Amino acid sequence: VRQLPVKHMWDLFCGVGGFGLHCATPDMQLTGIEIAPEAIACAKQSAAELGLTRLQFQALDSTQDRKS
């Protein structure tokens, strides 16, 4: 991923963020979605410890349509 010109990446079913955190660069925007709030809390903590500020993790059900 780091060799590709990726500016924004989605990580669905991200769990604790392992894949997204591994792929992320300081300039990349990453959105991670996971249904378990506990896993999202771990992903956010790991991103903070790594100094990655453009990552966003949300506890959502990615199988549900979020239309207003």
51-63 pLDDT, tens digit each: 999 999 999 987 7
68: pLDDT strictly greater than 70: no
The 10s digit of each residue's pLDDT in 9-64 is: 999 999 999 999 999 999 999 999 999 999 999 999 999 999 999 999 999 987 77
Arithmetic mean of pLDDT over the chain: 92
Spatial strand order in the sheet of 8-12:
8-12, 29-34, 55-59
Whole-angstrom CA distances from 43 to 5, 7, 63 are 24, 20, 20
Residue ranges per domain, the chain?
Answer: 8-59
Q: What is the pTM of this model?
A: 0.84
